[in-house]
Structure 1
Amino acid sequence: MSAIKSLEAVARDRVGKGAARAVRRQGQIPAVVYGAGQPPVSIAIDLIRARTLIYAGGFKTTVFEIAVGGRKLRAIPRDFQLDPVTGVPLHVDFLRVVSGQTVTVAVPVHFINEDEAPGIKQGGGTLNITSHTLELDVAPDRIPEAIEVDLTGRQIGDVIHVSDVKIPAGTYTGEPTDPVANIVPPTVLGAEVEAEEAAIAEAQSAEAAEEKAEAEAAAEEENKGEDEKSED
C-alpha cells in the first residue's frame, strides 16, 4: 500500500489571480483542501517539493498529511495544473479524507513475468496494453501502489480481462469483462508499422514533388523576366 507522506504548507488568507501570482513569485504554488463536508482551506506549498512529487509518479494515489497552521490535514490530490509551456506546477486540488470513506483513484498496472509468457518468449508475440491504469474505489489507507498482472503461461491470442487480475484492495469501478491487455502475433503490429512508414514516405515524396514544382515554376518565372529585360 502507498505510504502516507508528509507535506508542509502555509495558510493563504487571500485568494484570486493576483494573490496566486504573488504566491508563485515567492517560490510556492497555491493549493486548496476541500471535501468531507468542511470548509475549504486555501494553502501554499513549496514549488520544488510539489514538482518533485508530481513528476515522481503516483501523485494522485498518495495520501498526504499536510501540516498547516499548527494542525494536520489528511488529503489526496484530486487534480493539478501545469504550465502548458514549461510544465511547472501552477495549482493543486486536494480532497480531504476521513475515516470510513473511500476515494476513487486510477492505480497504475504493472505487467510481470513477461519472460514466462510462451506467446512472447517463444512465439515472438507483442504485449498490447489497453489499460495502463485501473480505477478503484478504495479506502485512502489501502490504496495500492500498483496492480500486478502476471503474464506467466500467456499465449498469442490471449486476452487479459479485469476478472483475470487480482485487485489488492478496493473495488474496480468498471466491468469485469473490461480488457487490460492482449498478446498479438508479431505480424500484426509489424504490418501497422509498415503501413505507417509507407504513408509517411508517400507524404514526404508528395511534399518533395510539390517543392520541386514550386522551385521550377519560380525559376521559369525568373528566366521569363530576364528574357523580357533582354528584349527591352
Structure 2
Amino acid sequence: MKFEATTRSVQGSSASRRLRRAGRVPAIVYGGKGEAQSIELDHNEIFHALRKEPFHTSVLDMMLDGKKQNVLLRAVQWHSYKPLVLHVDFQRVSANEALTTRIPFHFINGDESPAVKQQGATISHVLNDIEITCLPKDLPQFIEVDLGNLQANEVVHLSDVKVPAGVEFLGIGEESPVLATATVIAESPDEDPPTAADVSAAEAEKSDKPAEDDAK
C-alpha cells in the first residue's frame, strides 16, 4: 500500500495544532540507517488508510517528498472522542533485516463446522493476533485458521496452525496457546412432567378441601 508524506520542518505543540487545523497530521519515521525524521500527512488519506486492516499489517510504500521508503505502521494516536488522527509513528524497513510485528488471525468456516451445524456448539476466539518475526518479503497480512472440521468441546491450539514460510512465532511458552474453543452450553434440565398418580393426588386434595371447610 502506498501513501504520501512530506518533510515537516516546524515542530512543537503549537505547530502541530496548526497542522491539524489545516487538515494535516504530524507524524514521525524512525529506524533503519536514517535518523528520526518529522513528517506530515494528509488527514483524509491517512484516516481512510487506517480503516483498512492491510495498512496495519503490511510493509508500506511511503512516498516522502517523492522518494519511496518502506515502512511499518507502529503507533497511532486518536482524538479521545472525535474521528481525528492526532499523530502517527512509522518505522523504516530494510529488505535484509528481520522485522517484528503483530499479525491477526482470520478464523474461517466456523459456521460450517460440525460443532456449530450439528452439535449446537458456540465457537469462541481466544487469541486474535500474535507477535511474529520475519524478513519483509515473508510478512503475511494475516494467518488463516480453518475451523471447518471443529467438533463440539474441541480446542484449536497454535500448534494446529501451519506456520507461514519464513515466519517465526514469538512469545510462545512451553504449552501451545489456545486460539479457539467450541463449547456446548448445557441447558438446565426441565422438571419431570407430572405422572398420572400426581394428577390424581392433586385432584383428590382439591375435592377434600370443601369438606374440611364445612366441618369447621
Please indicate the TM-score interval, normalised by the length of the shorter structure.
0.7 to 0.9
Question: 1:143 Cα deviation (Å)?
Answer: 1.9
Question: 1:82 Cα deviation (Å)?
Answer: 0.2
* Matching residue within 72, 75, 80 for 2:76: 80
Aligned twin of 1:58: 54
Contact 2:25 2:40 in 1 (8 A): yes
- The one-letter code of the counterpart of 1:173 is L
Task: Tell me the distance in 2 between the aligned counterparts of 1:178 and 1:114.
Answer: 19
Once the two structures are superposed, residues 54-78 of structure 1 have per-residue CA deviations (whole angstroms, 9 ceiling, x without a partner) of 1222332122221223422111110
Are 2:37 and 1:41 equivalent residues in the alignment? yes
Aligned twin of 2:5: 9
- Give TM-score, length-normalised by structure 1: 0.74
Contact 1:60 1:79 in 2 (8 A): no
Provide the identity percentage. Answer: 34
Question: RMSD of the alignment, in Å?
Answer: 1.8
Are 2:181 and 1:167 equivalent residues in the alignment? no
Q: 1:80 to 1:115 in 2, by over 3 A?
A: closer
Which segments of 5 or more consecutive residues in structure 1 lack a partner in the other structure? 192-232
SS in 1 for 2:35: strand
Task: Tell me the distance in 1 between the aligned counterparts of 2:115 and 2:2.
Answer: 44
User: More helix by proportion, 1 or 2?
Assistant: 1
SS in 1 for 2:68: strand
- Deviation above 3 Å: which 4+ runs of structure 1? none
Aligned twin of 1:181: 180
Which segments of 5 or more consecutive residues in structure 2 lack a partner in the other structure? 189-216
SS in 2 for 1:186: coil
Question: 1:6 Cα deviation (Å)?
Answer: 1.5
Contact 1:60 1:105 in 2 (8 A): no
Q: Return the index of the structure with the highest Cα Rg.
A: 2
- Give TM-score, length-normalised by structure 2: 0.79
Question: 1:115 Cα deviation (Å)?
Answer: 4.2
Task: Tell me the distance in 2 between the aligned counterparts of 1:184 and 1:127.
Answer: 6
Task: Tell me the distance in 1 between the aligned counterparts of 2:149 and 2:60.
Answer: 39
Larger mean CA deviation between 88-97 and 12-21 belongs to 12-21
